[in-house]
Amino acid sequence: MANCNSITLQSPILITGAGGFVGQNLAANLAAQGYTNLLLFDKDSPAAALAEYAGQAQFVFHLAGVNRPTNNTEFYTGNADLTAQLLGLLQAAGNKAPLVLTSTTQAGNGTDYAKSKEAAETAVFAHGQQNQSDVYVYRLPGVFGKWSRPNYNTVVATFCHNVANNLPLEIRDPAYPLPLCYIDDVIASFTGVLTGCTPPPAAGQHMGINPTTTVTLGQLASLIQSFKQNRTTLALPNMGDAFTKKLYATYLSYLPQSAFSYPLTMHTDERGSFTEFLRTPERGQVSVNVSKPGIVKGNHWHNTKNEKFLVVRGSAVIRFRKVGDEEIIEYKVSGEKLEVVDIPTGYTHNIENVGEGELVTVMWASEPFDPKNPDTYFEKV
């Protein structure tokens, strides 16, 4: 079998369907990793280019296919027939390059789409046996991520696009289960095969993507809609959940270019301003505090809430006094040398602007402010 360790950054790598969702992500990631000889073939490429590339390629990613034709015969010409054509060109060139084929978890459901993909799979498995080539046939669930086309590739792309653009969602069956995998996990698996000599599976065995997550359409819609609300609530999604983190990244890629930014509410008075930036129930709240020269803010203490102060512009003195004691502790800080000052519980504290200009401090609190339970007690340092 072929030795994938022979693949170098200069090796010619053929990607069919290079202009599609998966192909575009694969080509961009390989180029970013330093691969310099990508043979990109797409529906707009000259037909003769496929034969030329098939003779040169040292690795083949066959991603091209048809999933939304104008008539069902295009399933077979765009999936089964194109695969057979590519395999024939490889064999005619005596090319034993390893080959990755993308198929679908819908295989076996009896549709023309599934049948055309199954025919492509069968041809690739036979090619591997006859040509003594390593073949990797991936049956992919719904793939989501950046650059996926709404109303074409996946429901995730459609939902993200619609929510980001204030368009309604059409949900026929909220309980419908939807298996999904993330584009970066797909690309990581592909590049692992390319660079790491992942052993090919046994003859006729398919490959999948790990992790794959199953959600209902209703859950998917609710989660994506919550992302839009976060700009008002300032609450970050649960970044501890891998699926939510990947879905949020996908949602942001569908924002209109005019909507990348959003305003924050600045609470201003004669002393300066205080602006909350973001909050999470698990990891607290981040705010930006601006103080005018000579202003002292704080003079309070907390039981459980703890904070971190980071002065990013100006000069300040942060003072502490343990509740019940008389000793005052001072820390002089400035934006000239960034350092974090922890605010321990049980210490009343304040921060004074001792500079000539505005003092800008980034403040983190271990819990979002709750007016019903502020855990804040006034006492001068």
* Residue 155 · residue 180 · CB < 8 Å: no
- Cα–Cα distance measured from residue 201 to residue 188, given in angstroms and rounded to the nearest whole number: 17
- Cα–Cα distance measured from residue 150 to residue 255, given in angstroms and rounded to the nearest whole number: 13
113 assigned to active site: yes
Which distant-in-sequence residues (6+ apart) come within 8 Å of 162 by Cβ?
A: 150, 168, 169
Say which of 35, 53, 76, 113 is annotated catalytic: 113
- Cα–Cα distance measured from residue 4 to residue 6, given in angstroms and rounded to the nearest whole number: 5
What one-letter code names the amino acid at 95?
N
The burial of 92, by beta-carbon neighbours within 10 Å (0-12 exposed, 13-18 middle, 19 or more buried), is given as exposed
What number of CA atoms fall less than 13 Å from residue 256's CA on the CB side?
10
Q: Which residues are catalytic?
A: 113
